Each structure stands twice: as C-alpha cells, then as structure tokens.
Chain A
Amino acid sequence: MLVVENLTKRYGTLTALNDVSLHVRRGEFFGLLGPNGAGKSTLMALVAGLRQPDAGRMSIDGVPCDRAGAASATIGFVPQSLALYEDLNAEENLAIFGRLYGLTGAALKARIDECLVAVGLQERRRDTVKTFSGGMQRRLNLAASLLHAPKLLLCDEPTVGIDPQSRNAIFDLLEQLNRDGLTIIYSTHYMEEATRLCSRIGIIDHGRIHALGTLDELLEQLPSREVVTFPRGSVAPGLAAKLEQFGALHERAESRELHLRADVRLAEFFTATAAAGLPDRLFQLKRPTLEDLFLHLTGKTLRE
C-alpha cells in the first residue's frame, strides 16, 4: 500500500532520514521503533505530505505523497501533539476537521457520532476540550484523524504522557481498527507498544532503518535465543568471567545479562553453574526483546 523508496531528508547539516526504503502492506499494523531523534516523526511527516523530501519517492496505492496533498484524503494523521482547539467542545472540533475532508450534513453528524462512540467520548461531546483529562484529549486527537475513514492511519507516538488505562483504551481501539482493515503505521520509542501492537516493525535510528520484519524475524537476527539474568554481586567477578564462554555478558544497572550463544543448550549452562556452586535460583531466564535487538544493532538502548 505504502511504498517508500530511497527517502532522504536533511535539516541543514543534520540528516534526519538517510536513504530509507520500506513497503507497508494493506491491513498491516506497522511499527516504527526508535529513540527520540531517530527520524520517526520526520518519516511520518513526509508520508503525511507535511514536508518535502530532499530525495526519494513515496506513494500510497500509486498516488504520490507530497505537499500538493494528492494522497491526503486517504491518510489519517495523529500528531504527537494534541492538535485540537481547546476552547471548542469535542463535537465542534470534529465538525471542523470533518468538513476539511468534505463531510457535511447528516454524513458528518453520523461520522462524528461513530468516532465519539469509538473513543468513548459520546457523553462528553459538548464539553470543551480543555476540561478533558490528558487521556481523553488523546482519544479525541485520534478520533479527529478517523472522521474521513482513511485507508492509512499514521500515529506519531499517540500515547505520549497519558495514564496506562487511557493507553490501553487507545491500544484496544487501534487493534479493533486494524482488525476492521485499517492499515496503521505506529511510531514509538516503547518496545512494549511495538511488541503488543505491531505485526511488522522497522527499527530506526539516526535516520536509517536498521532492521525490518515481524517480531520473530527481528529476534532471529539476535545471536542468542535466550538471555539469563542474575543480580550484580551475586557471582564473583572471576566466576562471571568464566560464564562468558556461554555467550556475551552485559552489565545492567542492577543486574548482569548473559546472552547465550545460539549453539549453547540451557542444560549445558545450568550444569556448569551448578558445578561452580551457583544455585539455579540466582538465574532468571527470559526471551530476548526488541530492546536487546536495538542494543545489538545500534550499541545503545532505546532510552539513550
């Protein structure tokens, strides 16, 4: 559905996007995972036609995404900021944005009703937006992007600064929309969000897509399948060094992580630790995460 080819965008001397290419298929829930400043918002802005790329092309179903706005009717954009008129009520806000897409009269009213019900704000439709909680404002922000029934929804970190309950409500809504056939591109720096929501994920940093695929495909790129964690100080430094024969040892704030090599069997590892006098209860086993992959690909954590 969305085709991005060799996209480059510079701001002065800073290259925000560097030769990015990706394809997003119809009905996908595509995640863009990367830290702040990775280039996620720039990519979203380019696809939404808000900015002009320095090089490369983008199209949605063959229609170019550019500032002329040819593809704008097919795109719904949920900006990171609360792009709402705070002094107007929910209904008035939605009416303004709906009219921009040519909705009028009964059709507009029907869509406003549908969207308010979808985000659970039908009871607050006549309340001014500034009286809403942060979570409610975020939900209305999402509703405003759905009025014209877009084919592609661009969500640029739509849950920033809200409580877990509101976040879950937004997740549920997005999942439902995706099940109903809406293609979604979702940018975040929370690996939990990408893991929960996205069917395919692109890992982005410094304006480059470092990896692209389903969660399993991405984790396949890690040299280890399992990670063993143990508290710092629980294992003598000399003994810890010996554990490195089973994989790569990483220091964390309160723990150490041993990323087991793909060829190491767990039984082999635990036999060795038991022989060294280390009880099994010291060790916790976990699946590698996107955080581990990001660390592996970029040498830093998502929060750095």
Chain B
Amino acid sequence: MKLVLTLLRKELLLFSKDRVALSLTFLVPVVLIYIFGAVFGVNRTSSGPTGIPLAVINESAAPEIAKLVEALRKETAFRVVESTTDENGVARALTETEVREGFKANRYRFALVLPADATSDETFGLRLKLLFNPRNEIESQMVLGLLQRTIYTEAPMLLLRSLEKQAASAIGRVKTDRFYDEMAATIGRSFGLDAAKVRESMKVGSLGDIVGAKTSGSTNGEASNFLERVIKIEQEQLAGAQVKNTGATRAVGGWAMMFLLFALSGSATSLFEEKKAGLYLRLLASPVRPSHILWSKYAFGILLGLVQLVALFFAGRLMFGIDVTSNFANLLVICAAAAVACTAFGMLLAAVTRTPAAAQGLATLLILTMSAVGGAWFPTSFMPELIQQLSKLTVVYWAMEGFAQVLWNDCTFAELLPTVGVLLGIAAALIGVSWWRFRTGPVFE
C-alpha cells in the first residue's frame, strides 16, 4: 500500500508539473464548454435561426401585401433585404434578376417574390413565389416553415381584403359594406368582441391576429387545407436540384475540413521533432536556410491537404454517391485554397508554441472551436448573431462556402474566386504572423 501511495504521489507530482496536461484537463474543456455554449446559444431566451438573409421583391402596391412584408420584417429569424444601392449610392428596390444573381454569390439562399398581381380584384386568393437554395437542409426546412407560418398568419386578413375587393366589384360598395358590417357583428358575437372594433380591424387589416390564432391551432385541419388551396406559393429551387445525395454533399465538406486541420497541425509539429533530433543543426550547416525548411513544410502541407481533401471527396463519391467530377476543376481550386489556409493555420500553431504537446493542445482547442463556429457541425444561421459574424473569420466557414458553391451551386471559376480570395487572404495573414514568430522564436535557434 505504501508503495502504491508513493507511486500515486509521483503521478500527482508529474501531473502538477505538466502544464500542457493541466491545461488539457481543466482549462481547455472549460474554454470549449464556454465556446460551445455560445455557439449553441444555450443562454439565449429564444432558439432557432436568426438573421438569415431573406430577399423580398415586392412588386405589389396592395396595402395588405405591405402588411405581409412588415410581418416578415418582425420575424427575428430573417434579415429582410428589400433594397440595394446603385452606382450613385441611391437606394432602390431589389429586382428578381438581381436576387437570382445574388443566389449564385450565396448572398441569398431564400427570396420571396410578391408579384404585382399577388392579390387582384379578379381572383380570390394570393400568389407568391419563393426562390430558395436548400444547401443546408435544417436551415431550409426551418425557413420554409417560418415563411409558411408568417404567410398563413397574415393570410386570413389578406384573403378578407381580396374577398372584399371582389365583392365590391361584383355587388357594389354599399352592399359589400353592409355584408362586412354584419360579418363583424357575427365575429364579435362569436368571439365576444366589440363588433365596431372588429369592423375597424377589418378595415386596417389587423383582424388576422384573431383569426390567425384560430387557424394556427388547426394547421393540419380544414383551415390549413383551405389556405393551401387559395394561397398559391410557387417554389423554385435555384441551386442544388442536380445534387444526387443532398445529405452527404452538404456534410462531407465540414467533416473533411476538420480532419484536414488535425492532419496539418500534426504535420506542422514535426518542426519540433526535427529540432529535437538535431536535424536542423545538420540542415542549417548545409546550404539550407530556415526559409527553405519553412517553405518545404508549407509545400508539403498544401500537397498533403489537397490530396487528403480530394481523397475524402472521392471516398464520399464511393460511399454516398456525391458528384465530385462534374465541377472537378473548381473543386480542385477550392481544395487547394483550403489546403493553403489550413497549412498556414498548422504552421501558425508551430510558430506560437514551444513544444509539440502545447501545439497539439492548442490545435485541439482551436480546431474544435473553428469547426463548431465555422458551421462544420450545424448551420451558422442557428448561432447567435455575434458567433455568426465570428464564423466568417474561420478557415472552416470559407472552405465550406467554397465546397457548397462547387458541389451545390455548380459555380463557375469566376464565381468561386471571391471565396478563394478570402481563404488565401486568411492564409497570407497567418503566414505573415508565423514568419515573424519563426524569425524571432526558438525553432531555429
């Protein structure tokens, strides 16, 4: 027993002196829990997506359609975009053509077109057009559900106005007003409301609150079926329709990025092993300079990353039937850009740490954080606004953007260039910091 206690004491002593082990045991998990909590929004009072860009092209002059747009603006899940600025900086309403272009650049994944005849005096009902890019399934389902809810909540009021217009046209204004006065009285009696207030609400279009509450409680019932018959929502999928295995195509890029980051941070720590083995003494005594060693490491990382990503995508093709060949040249371009950025990240880890263990600890922390924040695990639109903004600083986010553009949107090289530019820009910044650290740090001393 005494011997066991002595050995136990030894274990505790060694552990207490191992700062990396201490960090990985206590500090890193706490930091990760905090970050994951922020990513998943565990402290938020509301759940669900926030700030998803929703382009709205309102070509209708009808006030009830304006009410619908107003309702969409109030929905926190959406960031309604209705206007753009021209070359003179003057704001003007978006056009459908511009929005369709915006889909290609991934500025929008959802757009609602409210045509000039969304409601008309001639026909009863409502006509809308929804443009969407379901590159993220969870997000798409959530957005479509929210849109339906908002439209159906407003629908009774819209339909009432539509009906009223038609009635006025057919039987005259006086008879129509009488009819609606009687209907207000009936509603007032049925719901225990003041008939005059009900009639006033019908005029200003806020009766939907009352009736909407009733219809939303029976979405699977007759009211819902009725609404579906009279509200015509034309849906048009602008991207991804050609994708064979949508689930795998969406997911494999995120997984690949995570493994790539782990692989490249591991290879970067070989700097420490070579230094420890004394190899730099021999290499630097030869015509080799530190910059040669570093560039060879970068080149190896990029090559390894490119091969690994392509191999993983082809594995995805074999296992899940992902189409990686139809836009293969652009897939290579984005894989190369991602490999450059991930290599730069791995080298930064080696530059800012002093031991392989410290580098691996930091790598675990940063890779898991970047994967979560960058959207490798679930859509960034479900994260709090701040985290969504931070996600755009990560390599994972932009690499996944690029993969989606290639595999989902079937983009052209020109359309892919901005994403490639961002990845290379991040890489340049990381390489700059690393280079400075390598020059002043202990690796080549």
Contact = CB atoms under 8 A, between A and B. Distances in A.
Nearest to A141: B282
A77 B278 contact: no
Contact of B283 (A45, A86, A100): A100
A45 B444 CA distance: 12
Nearest to A79: B281
Interface string B266-291: 00000000000111011111111100
B278 A75 contact: no
B286 A81 contact: no
Nearest to A76: B285
Contact of A80 (B278, B284, B285, B286): B278
Nearest to A49: B285
Interface string A136-159: 000000001100100000100000
A85 interface: yes
A67 B283 CA distance: 12
A256 B445 CA distance: 45
A146 to B, nearest CB: 12
Contacts of B288: 69, 100
A83 B281 contact: yes
Contacts of A69: 286-289
Contacts of A145: 282
A49 B284 contact: yes
Contacts of B286: 69, 72, 97, 100-101, 148
Contacts of A50: 281, 284-285
Contacts of A83: 277-279, 281-283
A28 to B, nearest CB: 20
Contacts, number: 56
Most-contacted residue by chain B among A77, A83, A86, A144 (CB, 10 A): A83
Contact of B277 (A51, A73, A84): A84
Contact of A73 (B279, B281, B283, B287): B287
A249 interface: no
Nearest to B278: A81
Most-contacted residue by chain A among B279, B285, B445 (CB, 10 A): B285
Given A69-B287, A69-B289, A72-B286, A77 B277 contact: no
Interface string A75-104: 101011111111000000000010011100
Contacts of A81: 277-278, 281
B300 to A, nearest CB: 14
A16 interface: no
Interface in B262-321: 277-279, 281-289
A178 B202 CA distance: 109
B365 to A, nearest CB: 29
A154 B287 CA distance: 16
Contact of A85 (B279, B285, B289, B445): B279
Contact of B285 (A72, A84, A102): A72
Contacts of B283: 83, 100
Given A69-B289, A82-B277, A144 B282 contact: yes
B289 A79 contact: no
A273 B282 CA distance: 57
A83 B445 CA distance: 16
A60 to B, nearest CB: 13
A48 B280 CA distance: 12
A77 B279 contact: no
Nearest to B444: A50
Contacts of A102: 287
A207 B289 CA distance: 27
A241 to B, nearest CB: 50
A141 B325 CA distance: 48
Most-contacted residue by chain B among A49, A86, A144, A148 (CB, 10 A): A49
Contacts of A86: 277
A71 B277 CA distance: 24
Interface in B362-413: none
Contacts of A79: 278, 281-282, 285
A77 B287 contact: no
B282 A77 contact: yes
Nearest to B282: A83
A86 to B, nearest CB: 8
Contacts of B289: 67, 69
A82 B281 CA distance: 10
A37 B287 CA distance: 28
A154 B279 CA distance: 15
Contacts of B287: 69, 72-73, 100-102
A45 B282 contact: no
B136 to A, nearest CB: 43
Contacts of A82: 277-278
A97 B282 contact: yes
A148 B286 CA distance: 10
Nearest to A145: B282
A97 B282 CA distance: 9
A72 to B, nearest CB: 5
Nearest to B290: A67
Interface in B198-256: none
Contacts of B279: 83-85
A148 B285 CA distance: 12
Contacts of A49: 284-285
A145 to B, nearest CB: 7
B269 to A, nearest CB: 16
5 contacts: A48-B285, A51-B445, A69-B289, A73-B287, A79-B282
8 tightest Cβ-Cβ pairs between the two chains A and B:
A81-B278, A77-B285, A83-B282, A79-B281, A48-B285, A83-B278, A100-B286, A83-B279
Interface of B: 277-279, 281-289, 445
Given A50-B281, A101-B286, A145-B282, 4 more contacts: A81-B278, A83-B278, A83-B283, A97-B286
